[in-house]
A and B are shown apart, each in its own frame.
Chain A
Amino acid sequence: GNSVTQMEGPVTLSEEAFLTINCTYTATGYPSLFWYVQYPGEGLQLLLKATKADDKGSNKGFEATYRKETTSFHLEKGSVQVSDSAVYFCALRATGNQFYFGTGTSLTVIP
C-alpha cells in the first residue's frame, strides 16, 4: 500500500539554524512527492514537489531530493526564519489522483 512516515515533532529551532525534517514513503509504482505547509488557521499550501527519482524540488530556500534508493524525501533549509514557523506535511501521489499525507511536523522558530 501507500503511506508516508514523517519525523515526529514538535521541532524548535533558533533563527538561522539548519532545518531537516525527515520523510520516508512506501508506494506502489512511481509516486510524485510533495511538501505542503500549513500556517495557523489556514489550509495547506504547496511548498515544493518532485516527480521522479533524483529530482530536487526547491522553493523559498527549502529543498528536498527524491531518493528512490532510500525511499526518502527529506526537507531541508539552511537558515530558518521566524516566519517559517508552521506545520509541514510530506505527501505522495501514486497512481490515480489520491494524495497520502504524513502526520505533519510542527516547526517553531524562535528569535
Chain B
Amino acid sequence: ETGVTQSPTHLIKTRGQQVTLRCSSQSGHNTVSWYQQALGQGPQFIFQYYREEENGRGNFPPRFSGLQFPNYSSELNVNALELDDSALYLCASSLASGRANEQFFGPGTRLTVL
C-alpha cells in the first residue's frame, strides 16, 4: 500500500508569483484535504475534494484553488503569492464514509515566499 506523497518537498517563490503543489493520495482513498501549517501552529483547513468536486472550504481567499483528478490525486494552486503564504502545506487523504475515518498525511511541501 502506497502512502500519501507530495511534491515538491521545498519551494521558494517571490511575491506575486503563482505556485502549484501536488499530492498523490493513498491507494483506495477518494477524498483529499489540504491544510496550511504556519510555523509553530496547527494545520488550518484550506479545502477538501471528493470525487473531483470541492467538498468544503475553510477561511481562505479565492486565490487558493484546487483540483482533483480521476485517479484522486490533487493539486493546490495559489495565485498572487503573499509573504504570509510561507508555510508547510499538508495533503491528507481519507475515505469519505465513516465517522472515525482518519486522515493520512503526506510529508508536506515547505513553501517560502520572498
- Using a CB–CB distance below 8 Å, which chain A residues touch chain B? 4, 6, 32, 34, 36, 41-46, 49, 51, 89, 91, 93, 96-104
Interface size class of B (residues with CB under 8 A): 20 to 34
Bound Cα distance from A41 to B107, whole angstroms: 8
A89 and B48 form a contact (CB under 8 A):
no
Instruction: Identify the closest chain B residue to A50 (Cβ).
Output: B100
Judge whether B100 and A97 touch: CB under 8 Å: no
| In the bound complex, CA of A100 to CA of B55 (Å) | 16
Is chain A's binding surface mostly helix, strand, loop or mixed? strand
Residues of A within 8 A of B50 (CB): 97
A102 B42 Cβ-Cβ under 8 A: yes
- Total CB contacts across the A-B interface at under 8 A: 66
A51 contacts across to B, CB distance below 8 A: 99-100
B66-106 interface code vs A (CB 8 A; 1 in, 0 out):
00000000000000000000000010101010011111111
CB distance from A75 to the nearest CB of B (A): 14
**Contact status A98-B105, CB under 8 Å:** no
- Known contacts being A98-B33, A102-B42, is A42 close to B107, with CB within 8 Å? yes
How far apart are A79's CB and chain B's nearest CB, in angstroms?
26
Question: Complex: how many Å from CA A4 to CA B58?
Answer: 16
A99 touches B41 (CB 8 A): no
